Amino acid sequence: MRCKMKVYVKLFANLVQRVSEDIIAQYPRGIRAGFPLEIELPGNSTLADLVSHLALRQDEVVKIFVEGRVRELDYHLNPGDQVGIFPPLGGG
């Protein structure tokens, strides 16, 4: 049996609209930007694995914070990690 872990993910801006239908279905009341999602992943997963699990494209993600620190996609997650994922932000 493969070890599993849970992480807690907050998606920001339009990423909440891009997440997979499977994830959305787990939250019948809907999800909002900054709403914490409980995500189960195989042990030893990376941020790239998490982004893929959420059905996000890597080019849709500009910054990922784990426990308040910016991390790269090859960062290995730990059980219980708090993750914030941000898209490119426009404005002007």
Buried/exposed 35-60: b ≥16 CB within 10 Å, e otherwise: eebebebeeebbbeebbebbebeeeb
Flag whether 91 is in a domain: no
Band (7; pLDDT cuts 50, 70, 90): very high
Q: Is residue 40 part of a domain?
A: yes
Number of domains composing the chain: 1
Contact 76, 6 (CB under 8 A): no
- Nearest CA among 11, 17, 6 for reference residue 39: 6
Pairing state between β 4-11 and 82-86? parallel
pTM for this model (two decimals)? 0.91
* Per-residue pLDDT reduced to its tens digit, 22-65: 998 998 898 999 999 999 999 999 999 999 999 999 999 999 99
Q: Is 92 part of any domain?
A: no
Q: Residue 12 sits in a domain of what CATH number?
A: 3.10.20.30
